[in-house]
């Protein structure tokens, strides 16, 4: 998050005060409709979908995607061996 932008910081802090997922969804819908943040690249629909789900935390679980089969294999130049 860009903490130097006071508008985003204030919105983030206000969102953090929402206690229930229902109140978070209402907050997001209200802010989306307000148009105040149209200059920002905020994925309102995606956020509303996440916080409307039964388990929002499932959307935030980290996943690893390896595109190169040789990536991080011992002996390859892009390995992490040197740090172990």
pLDDT of the residue at 7? 86
pLDDT in tens, 43-76: 999 999 999 998 888 887 765 555 555 555 665 5
Q: How far apart are CA 13 and CA 53, in angstroms?
A: 22
pLDDT of the residue at 56? 87
* CA-based end-to-end distance of the chain: 31
pLDDT of the residue at 27? 96
* Structure confidence at residue 78 as a pLDDT band (50, 70, 90): low
Give the mean model confidence (pLDDT) for residues 14-24: 95
pLDDT of the residue at 15? 94
| Alpha carbon separation from 73 to 5, 64, 68, 80, 82 (Å, rounded) | 41, 15, 10, 8, 12
């Amino acid at each position: 998050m860009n903490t130097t932008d006071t508008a985003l910081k204030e919105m983030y802090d206000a969102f953090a005060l929402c206690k229930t997922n229902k109140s978070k969804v209402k907050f997001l819908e209200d802010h989306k409709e307000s148009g105040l943040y149209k200059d920002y690249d905020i994925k309102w629909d995606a956020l509303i979908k996440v916080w409307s789900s039964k388990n929002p935390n499932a959307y935030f679980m980290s996943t690893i995607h390896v595109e190169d089969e040789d990536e991080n294999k011992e002996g390859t130049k892009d390995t992490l061996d040197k740090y172990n």
